[in-house]
A and B are shown apart, each in its own frame.
Chain A
Amino acid sequence: EVQLVESGGVVVQPGGSLRLSCAASGFTFDDYTMHWVRQAPGKGLEWVSLISWDGGSTYYADSVKGRFTISRDNSKNSLYLQMNSLRTEDTALYYCAKDNPADYYYGMDVWGQGTTVTVSS
């Protein structure tokens, strides 16, 4: 069974840092691009970042560029999101998502259940 399990979400003060993790299983992790997508309370989905299969390409939403860093460890089947200079508007449920099997477009086909990040003083 293909599975993504996020962890690391906590309550953190504005200006603080946090690292989210996503453990993947049931598929060949290093074959796929991976994404982070977030959803603020009561709001819609917002794409945050993606990383190519080998980590060679990374892209970010403008809202997090320069503050967040996506990375992966294919030997551990794990995806990460290092979040620095956190703001109250970063409060959200953060989903890890696997990209689709086709190599010619971006679209998610498997999602985790999410981990909650709350930025509050």
Chain B
Amino acid sequence: NFMLTQPHSVSESPGKTVTISCTRSSGSIASNYVQWYQQRPGSAPTTVIYEDNQRPSGVPDRFSGSIDSSSNSASLTISGLKTEDEADYYCQSYDSSSVVFGGGTKLTVL
């Protein structure tokens, strides 16, 4: 099995742009899709990015996803930060018989 490593926390000011990374420990990041989930305190997770870079309906285009094979990592970028974006963010991928979550990143918008 592989691991997904995320920074524990990031912070940025409203209106700015922040990027959260997710590095895969073994195997190619491009071999399996990466999803990103947002979890606000006291709530269940919701999907903000699926299939590396696709946004579900209702998710603003301020949210974007990408992968970088050179660093074997995925990234979630949030532009035009709003206070409502403050939450925990998790990346997720899989292999043929398991699902793996990153450890989560706490985004503070201050």
- Which residues of A pack against B, CB within 8 Å? 35, 37, 44-47, 50, 59, 61-62, 95, 100, 102, 105-109, 111-114
Contact = CB atoms under 8 A, between A and B. Distances in A.
Interface stretch (B11-19, B63-71, B75-83, B99-107): B99-107
Contact of B103 (A44, A59, A61, A107): A44
Contacts of A35: 99
Interface string B30-55: 00110101010000111100110000
Which 10 A/B pairs are nearest by Cβ-Cβ distance?
A106-B94, A44-B104, A47-B99, A111-B44, A107-B35, A45-B101, A59-B97, A105-B33, A44-B103, A106-B99
A119 B100 CA distance: 24
Given A95-B44, A105-B32, A108-B35, A45 B98 contact: no
B90 A100 contact: no
Given A45-B104, A47-B99, A105 B44 contact: no
A47 B51 contact: no
A106 to B, nearest CB: 4
A107 B97 contact: no
A109 B103 contact: no
Contacts of B32: 105
Interface of B: 1, 32-33, 35, 37, 39, 44-47, 50-51, 56, 88, 90, 92, 94, 97-104
Given A106-B99, A108-B37, 16 more contacts: A44-B103, A45-B45, A45-B90, A45-B92, A45-B104, A47-B99, A105-B94, A106-B94, A107-B47, A107-B94, A109-B47, A109-B50, A109-B56, A111-B44, A111-B45, A112-B44
B35 A44 contact: no
Contacts of A47: 98-101
Contacts of B46: 111
